[in-house]
A and B are shown apart, each in its own frame.
Chain A
């Protein structure tokens, strides 16, 4: 019995294409017929069961979609079962010299897969890699091509493409091709190359932003944030999220730095900072309210010990000791950290009070410039101060006590 009459290949495009290429190579002289949902079931089954006219060439039939059963305008979901049942009957009749490939049609019918297995193979190629695996692939990809990429940059690259800690292989492959073409003959792949080639990526990892900010790379930081905000249908939730997470980070840094200033022990600092609760967002747009992320009892009170903390003890330890033995705290003076925290609070209140898209963008830009040390004075932060709130405060206080 021929074991190469029918194949089912599902999963990532990259490996499917590779599989088809190997199959074609093994076949030798052949002719390829490609079918889709525009072809009729009758036509396809007739062709695949016809004996080859020329004995010196193989015939490869690739089905990229299931054919229609009777009419092109039929409801495919209703006729799909009939088409699959038809193939179950037809596959054993496929003569030598013909090979049919069901390419990424995702047919899960057990009987169909059994028939295919009897007369060929069923190949399922995973669509997603784990992050570590993807990172290794990225580094291997460039090494194979005589290029180098820093491990941290490979991590960033994979992070930008990841979703739920997994990376789509096809997306990774295309991104690699893109960056490879962009780099050209240059042997070193730089971080800038990643940002420039993946500028339309919707993936935004706040830790990547922190890394850039700590390195005072305001250009890449701005690009990363701008691209992220541009990819959102409404930027406000994105801006609020960024500012909130920054507030917590810089609050933590202020605590640590000032704790160090008054000679608190590292363990004491860790206890204090790690008790800061993580906040959870509720509501949309201007109604967004942040609450401590914790399990609550029936009366709505936080159940002790069920809170989610902003930073784990390990993370705080990393803040103090640093990654690669270099603490991020070295990048900031306490005054600088206070100024950043002040700016973030001002920005937060200004945005919540009401702001236009361009205002929000300029607020984020000012904060990035401030963190990266391009703005040094409080007077330069005047645009962040909320005149309306001040006026409102003066007005209500005046009424009450005037």
Chain B
């Protein structure tokens, strides 16, 4: 193996591969921390595989400018990813030569061969698992929009090992709609993008993205420069023994995600979004920020680390009363406006009887912290009063009336890319006394 390449370009190009091979590595995985460099006539390919995710990164003049790649001898070598990255960063940003001799890769300056870094090589080469012949889902998505949406929902993925079924992001596609969903069993977020001139297939399709690989994907997509990415799902193939996998192609590179088999029983989230709530009340996120911070403040003086906040509708004064369910109380009022920020009349739907609900204060904290761009906009809180549940002794009847609190954020329109984005959060009520 012997080739020349511009080190500044190469450092950029190996960032994603370095991330995949060193972050979120399956314990004691044999290819963990390693990168195989395959020098070919027209390109150099980096292979990295951490157990849950792999990356094939071809680096050539076709996807990188000013690469100055010149291969005099084809070959391959496996080195430690961090060593490779450190060796390149510790040399001036100019053309370097990679050569393999005596089980060592020598990285030297072309202009001064006395300036070099030697890297130890490994006998084995990183091998990427094979995949089936045919993908069943393949969509082209705007990278920037996808990445933003991906980042917006990734906070909500379950952290608890006891709820492993929610340790993933669900990517759903149908018609012109693409949506990302994540949750922890009690609180869910949905980010839905509707594109004016793009279709993602007539049939509804779902792909699970494991939590373990979320940061790798984020890193790769944020380092990329392409406009579109191609997301494909490959079912398992018994003929060639390949497992189910998800691939994302960007900048000519392909990131492959494995271990998708365990996520199968994600609930039907659309049912919640379609439900007609008895109560839909508008309020300002800004007002909610004061109320929620007040509730959170009482945590310090409350013996529970997790506590609830109760929200009541004050019919007389047309406002919401937000009160912490803690020993030391915090109470805040939130006005229910008649007009929205654009001075349009709001159609609040307010049911009969006493209207209240109680839920985990952390969910309200999520509600104010994660929202679509303009925080000063109003949100709509859709709920069924917990009062209606009191005294019901029949489980079926109870189930009919049990619905989570649904927060609808204002629709966001991207005029340039020509899509609209809807963001929802829904969370459960608490019966804790």
Contact surface of A with B, Cβ cutoff 8 Å: 1-2, 31, 33-35, 39-40, 42-43, 45-47, 49-57, 59, 89-90, 93-97
Question: In the complex, which residues of chain A have a beta carbon less than 8 angstroms from the beta carbon of B306?
Answer: 40, 42-43, 46
Contact between chains at B360 and A33 (CB < 8 Å):
no
Given contacts A39-B162, A55-B402, contact A50 B360 (CB under 8 A): yes
Q: A31 to B265: give the CA distance in the assembly, Å.
A: 9
Q: Looking across the interface, which residue of chain A has its beta carbon closest to that of B393?
A: A1
Interface residues on B, range: 35 or more
Contact between chains at A45 and B432 (CB < 8 Å):
yes
Contact between chains at A51 and B163 (CB < 8 Å):
no
Q: Mark B164-207, 1 if CB is under 8 A from A, else 0.
A: 01000000000000000001011010000000000000000000
Question: In the complex, which residues of chain B have a beta carbon less than 8 angstroms from the beta carbon of A54?
Answer: 267-268, 271-272
Q: A35 to B160: give the CA distance in the assembly, Å.
A: 10
Q: A43 to B306: give the CA distance in the assembly, Å.
A: 7
Q: A337 to B160: give the CA distance in the assembly, Å.
A: 70
Contact between chains at B186 and A93 (CB < 8 Å):
no
Q: A9 to B160: give the CA distance in the assembly, Å.
A: 24
Q: Looking across the interface, which residue of chain B has its beta carbon closest to that of A47?
A: B186
Question: In the complex, which residues of chain B have a beta carbon less than 8 angstroms from the beta carbon of A90?
Answer: 432
Question: In the complex, which residues of chain B have a beta carbon less than 8 angstroms from the beta carbon of A96?
Answer: 392, 395, 398-399, 402
Contact between chains at A31 and B185 (CB < 8 Å):
yes
Q: Mark B420-432, 1 if CB is under 8 A from A, else 0.
A: 0000001111111
Contact between chains at B404 and A46 (CB < 8 Å):
no
Give the one of B165, B359, B427, B429 with max A CB within 10 A.
B429
Given contacts A1-B393, A49-B431, contact A33 B185 (CB under 8 A): yes
- Closest beta carbon of chain B to A117's beta carbon, Å: 18
Question: In the complex, which residues of chain B have a beta carbon less than 8 angstroms from the beta carbon of A47?
Answer: 185-186
Contact between chains at A97 and B186 (CB < 8 Å):
no
Question: In the complex, which residues of chain A have a beta carbon less than 8 angstroms from the beta carbon of B186?
Answer: 47, 50, 53
Contact between chains at B305 and A51 (CB < 8 Å):
no
Q: A40 to B305: give the CA distance in the assembly, Å.
A: 9
Total residue contacts A-B, CB cutoff 8 A: 93
Q: Check: B376 CB closer than 8 A to any chain A CB.
A: no
Lowest 5 A-B CB distances belong to which pairs? A49-B432, A96-B398, A95-B431, A55-B399, A54-B267
Contact between chains at B428 and A50 (CB < 8 Å):
yes
A-B contacts, 28 of them at CB < 8 A, read A31-B267, A33-B162, A33-B163, A35-B162, A39-B160, A43-B306, A46-B306, A46-B308, A47-B186, A50-B186, A50-B359, A50-B430, A50-B432, A51-B402, A52-B399, A52-B402, A53-B183, A53-B185, A53-B188, A53-B404, A53-B426, A53-B427, A54-B272, A55-B400, A55-B402, A55-B403, A96-B395, A96-B402
In B372-425, the 8 Å CB interface with A consists of 389, 392-393, 395, 398-400, 402-404
Q: Check: B342 CB closer than 8 A to any chain A CB.
A: no
- Closest beta carbon of chain A to B363's beta carbon, Å: 10
Q: Mark B27-42, 1 if CB is under 8 A from A, else 0.
A: 0000000000000000
Q: Looking across the interface, which residue of chain B has its beta carbon closest to that of A2?
A: B395
Q: Check: B433 CB closer than 8 A to any chain A CB.
A: yes
Given contacts A47-B186, A95-B431, contact A56 B267 (CB under 8 A): yes
Contact between chains at B428 and A53 (CB < 8 Å):
yes
Question: In the complex, which residues of chain B have a beta carbon less than 8 angstroms from the beta carbon of A56?
Answer: 267-268, 271
Contact surface of B with A, Cβ cutoff 8 Å: 160, 162-163, 165, 183, 185-186, 188, 265, 267-268, 271-272, 304-306, 308, 359-360, 389, 392-393, 395, 398-400, 402-404, 426-433
Q: A42 to B325: give the CA distance in the assembly, Å.
A: 14
Contact between chains at B267 and A51 (CB < 8 Å):
no
Contact between chains at A57 and B395 (CB < 8 Å):
no
Q: A95 to B400: give the CA distance in the assembly, Å.
A: 13
Question: In the complex, which residues of chain A have a beta carbon less than 8 angstroms from the beta carbon of B431?
Answer: 49-51, 93-95
Among A33, A42, A89, A93, contact of B304 (Cβ-Cβ < 8 Å): A42
Q: A183 to B6: give the CA distance in the assembly, Å.
A: 65
Contact between chains at A89 and B433 (CB < 8 Å):
yes
Name 13 extra pairs, CB < 8 A, besides A39-B162, A56-B267, A93-B432: A2-B393, A31-B163, A31-B265, A33-B185, A43-B306, A46-B308, A50-B360, A51-B402, A51-B428, A52-B399, A53-B188, A90-B432, A96-B398
Among A1, A31, A35, A50, contact of B165 (Cβ-Cβ < 8 Å): A31
Q: A55 to B165: give the CA distance in the assembly, Å.
A: 17
Give the one of A40, A54, A59, A94 with max B CB within 10 A.
A54
Contact between chains at B428 and A46 (CB < 8 Å):
no
Contact between chains at A93 and B433 (CB < 8 Å):
yes
Question: In the complex, which residues of chain A have a beta carbon less than 8 angstroms from the beta carbon of B428?
Answer: 50-53
Q: A49 to B392: give the CA distance in the assembly, Å.
A: 16
- Closest beta carbon of chain A to B63's beta carbon, Å: 43
Q: A90 to B186: give the CA distance in the assembly, Å.
A: 18
Q: A1 to B162: give the CA distance in the assembly, Å.
A: 28
Q: A19 to B209: give the CA distance in the assembly, Å.
A: 34
- Closest beta carbon of chain A to B428's beta carbon, Å: 5
Question: In the complex, which residues of chain B have a beta carbon less than 8 angstroms from the beta carbon of A40?
Answer: 305-306
- Closest beta carbon of chain A to B157's beta carbon, Å: 15
Given contacts A33-B162, A34-B162, contact A46 B402 (CB under 8 A): no
- Closest beta carbon of chain A to B264's beta carbon, Å: 12
Question: In the complex, which residues of chain B have a beta carbon less than 8 angstroms from the beta carbon of A50?
Answer: 186, 359-360, 428-432
Given contacts A31-B265, A52-B402, contact A46 B426 (CB under 8 A): no
Q: A54 to B427: give the CA distance in the assembly, Å.
A: 10
Question: In the complex, which residues of chain B have a beta carbon less than 8 angstroms from the beta carbon of A34?
Answer: 162
Given contacts A46-B360, A47-B186, contact A97 B402 (CB under 8 A): yes
- Closest beta carbon of chain B to A218's beta carbon, Å: 46
